[in-house]
Structure 1
Amino acid sequence: MAFAGKWETENQEGYEAFCKLLGIPDDIIEKGRDYKLVTEVTQDGNDFSWTQIYPTNASVTNKFTIDKECDMETIGGKKFKATVHMEAGKLIVDFPKYHHTSEISGGKLIETSKAGSVVLKRTSKKI
């Protein structure tokens, strides 16, 4: 149940390069640069509900069960099928354009998104 709770972004590394790679417009990148993304996670065993609230107050909620295919959605509204796995305490999933891992380390939520050599690392604190 380590992931359960409400988290707020403390810092991000590689934000602009990652957003540009995904084709996010410059004005949206600028709006989100210093935004404190809020992530709300509920966990019941292997069942998760993962909500991210973005700068425009838009939110995306993905519900999934570890090792079972589910329907997911990106912030851009793209729907896709994915299977979230847990390995060594990390949640791992492949989005359409990148590989994403989430883990709890030192009481922080660490999310890492990789697309080729471009990496976005977001660290969030519990609120």
Structure 2
Amino acid sequence: MAFTGKYEVESEENYDDFMKRIGLPSDVIEKGRKFKIVTEVVQNGEEFTWSQHYPGGQSMTNKFTIGKESEMETMGGKKFKATVKMENGKVVVDFPNYHHTAEIAGGKLVEISVAAGVTYKRISKKIA
């Protein structure tokens, strides 16, 4: 499957501005800036398990099926319901206060989130 793999953050753009826009406290933003987040994706057809592993053993996992409403969790830990779509090979979802897309480009996981006019881009290299 196209998305299946383990990816480690390689670069980020507009991290601070974006995190402020979605309401994360400055201490959390500061701590997160130094993290090498590992994203693990398991894709089985239209079903996904999308996990983010943080240093210190914390992780967040969202399970969803393309086109079906699923319960999800934001970076800030809030639960919400959303329908994840697939558009031109990209996973697309609207979180409560930002729009998120993810795609595989050049063997890398490219995630783009937009909140209040700020675009946050995270590129992760495949490690497994």
Taking structure 2 as the reference length, the TM-score comes to 0.95
Tell me whether 43-52 or 17-26 shows the greater mean CA deviation.
17-26
Question: Which runs of structure 2 are paired with 1:30-41 in the superposition (5 Å)?
Answer: 30-41=30-41
Measure, in 2, the Cα distance between the counterparts of 1:124 and 1:78: 24
Name the aligned partner's letter for residue 40 of structure 1. E
Counterpart in 1 of 2:54?
A: 54
TM-score w.r.t. structure 1 length?
Answer: 0.95
Query: Deviation digits for residues 19-48 of structure 1, max 9, x if unmatched?
Result: 111121112111111311100000110000
1:32 alignment partner, SS class: helix
Q: CA contact under 8 A between 1:31 and 1:55: conserved in structure 2?
A: no
* Structure 2: segments with no counterpart, 5+ residues: none
In the TM superposition, residue 55 of structure 1 has moved relative to its aligned partner by: 4.0
Unaligned runs of 5+ in 1: none
Alpha carbons of structure 1 residues 120 and 56: separation in structure 2 relative to 1, 3 Å: farther
Quick check: 1:66–1:84 contact (8 Å CA) kept in 2? yes
RMSD: 1.1
Q: How far apart, in 2, do the equivalents of 1:25 and 1:54 lie?
A: 17
Q: Is the 8 A contact 2:50 2:62 kept in 1?
A: yes
Superposed CA deviations along residues 61-115 of structure 1, whole A, max 9, x for unmatched, are 0000000111111132211100010011000000000000000001110000001
Change (3 A) 1:56 1:96: farther
Structure 1 residue ranges (4+ consecutive) displaced by more than 3 angstroms after TM superposition:
none
Is the partner of 1:35 in helix, strand or coil?
coil
Query: What is the number of residues matched between the two proteins?
Result: 127
Equivalences for residues 63-74 of structure 1 within 5 A: 63-74=63-74
- Distance in 2 of aligned mates of 1:119 and 1:53: 22
